[in-house]
A and B are shown apart, each in its own frame.
Chain A
Amino acid sequence: MPLPTGPVIGIMMDNLKKRKSVFPISGRKAVKWSQKLEIPVGGETVLYTGSMYQLLPYMIAAVNRMGKMEDSFLGQYVGLGRFFNKMFNVSSIMFRPKRADHKRFRRIIRDIARLLQQAGVDFGYLYKKELYAGALAFDLGVDETFVAHAQRLSNLFKAQGVRSLITIDPHTTNVLRSVYPTIIDGFDIEVKSYLEVLAENDTLRPINKVEGEITIHDSCVYARYEDVVEQPRQLLRRAGYTVKEPKNNRNLTHCCGGPIESLFPSMAHQIGGKRVQQLKDAQGKGVATMCPICMATLQQAANGDLEIDDIASFLAKAFCPPGANDKSAEEKRSQP
């Protein structure tokens, strides 16, 4: 039996209204990735994570829990969960992420920041002041909540003197670059994905030798909403990899299924399974994703049969000094 759509959306939207994020995450956890990177506080240009990578461990835990509930009698009690969630933070008790998941998503953000530092890009970070950008509320059509949240974020940018944002995932890039200017009066902050920033940068050159064939998985949102198609290919080639293309690629890429994972987990897995087959058929030694949702959904669908990692990790191997950010043994074991 499918999960009840209204209450599931309701829980996430109540969290966004009350706790400023779809899955409440502590400020300490959200900024932990930045330790020892010595990124300045604030500034005109900031690296904006929008907490997407940090939220993924919670989403994985939630999807596992919801997936189990989808076909069980428990599904009917989601409405009750929403009632209690309004008063105290039920979602943080129900969805407990694995420590290793926190680690691997943190490692990716670190790789992104290290790549930008290596390229000599001048940027700051808003640390605990940073907020989720609201993509899920927009996609689910909960416009009042989304607009109120967007206004809150726009005020924050103004107060902090931010003029330009470097984003790290397609969904945050899309809402900030293409949706905010249509709903917030005078929103004129420049928004660029780090992939665009790095592709334009001539200073970034490989310092370590890498080789091998990497299959690229385009994100629907980057490719069809934001026209970010060439940049990841150019960067992988500059790093030293050979880029392999799956059957559906570029602006005809095949969705990973992730966007409906919170409401229809089993359907999402079927879509992910179809995409994994296409990626396997491309016969690269690894698959590079550029969205944390794609990475998590495809890894789950591949079930360990395919090396799937974020493009930032493949790039960091070539462009950044080795050692400092390697995968821990715990992380390697935990990866599906």
Chain B
Amino acid sequence: MAKVNPDFIKKVTASKQFNASECMNCGVCGAVCPMEIELLPRKLFRYALLGLEDKVLEHTPVIYQCLLCKMCEANCTADVHIAENVRFLRTYISKKVYQL
């Protein structure tokens, strides 16, 4: 069963950079992504907003596979800062998991 981590929610919502809540779930980003990353940001960012830390960490490889190329952002009508949101998740993993 998915486990909610309130501390993770706090960190995510406190960040000025993390604006995944603007997402309208239209799916355009996944369709134009050269990596064909379907998961970003619709599902993965949703997990983060819900505080499902385990689910986010399960997808660590995808988080590092993102090219930060912003093709998705160039096509997103909701102005979601997708690349910056991915980077934000990396900063979390770098500290929490890799202790960097």
Contact = CB atoms under 8 A, between A and B. Distances in A.
B68 interface: yes
State the main secondary structure of chain A at its contact with B.
Answer: helix
A6 B100 CA distance: 9
Interface stretch (B6-14, B18-26, B43-51, B91-99): B91-99
Contact of A224 (B35, B69, B95): B69
Contacts of B91: 141-143
Contact of B94 (A140, A255, A257, A274): A140
A217 to B, nearest CB: 13
A142 B100 contact: yes
Interface stretch (A62-70, A150-158, A259-267, A314-322): A259-267
Contact of B67 (A143, A145, A225, A255): A255
Contact of B87 (A5, A141, A251, A260): A141
A141 B88 contact: yes
B69 A255 contact: yes
B34 A260 contact: no
Given A5-B64, A224-B74, A145 B100 contact: yes
A94 interface: no
A1 to B, nearest CB: 11
A254 interface: yes
Interface in B25-43: 34-35
B100 A220 contact: no
Contacts, number: 75
Contact of A259 (B67, B90, B93, B97): B67
B89 interface: yes
A251 B69 CA distance: 10
A176 B7 CA distance: 33
A326 B91 CA distance: 44
B94 A141 contact: yes
A104 to B, nearest CB: 25
B69 A259 contact: yes
Nearest to B100: A142
B68 A259 contact: yes
A52 interface: no
A38 B78 CA distance: 51
A198 B71 CA distance: 27
A257 B66 CA distance: 10
B34 A255 contact: yes
A6 B97 contact: yes
A251 B74 contact: yes
Contacts of B94: 9, 140-143
Contacts of B65: 260, 263-264, 267
Contact of A5 (B61, B68, B71, B92): B61
B73 A224 contact: yes
B55 interface: no
Nearest to B73: A224
A141 B89 contact: yes
Contacts of A9: 94, 98, 100
A252 B71 contact: yes
A239 to B, nearest CB: 28
Given A6-B97, A141-B89, A141-B94, A255 B71 contact: yes
Given A6-B98, A13-B100, A267-B35, A225 B70 contact: yes
B77 interface: no
Contacts of B5: none
Interface in A231-266: 251-252, 254-255, 257, 259-260, 263-264
10 contacts: A140-B90, A141-B87, A141-B88, A144-B100, A145-B100, A220-B67, A220-B68, A224-B69, A255-B69, A260-B66
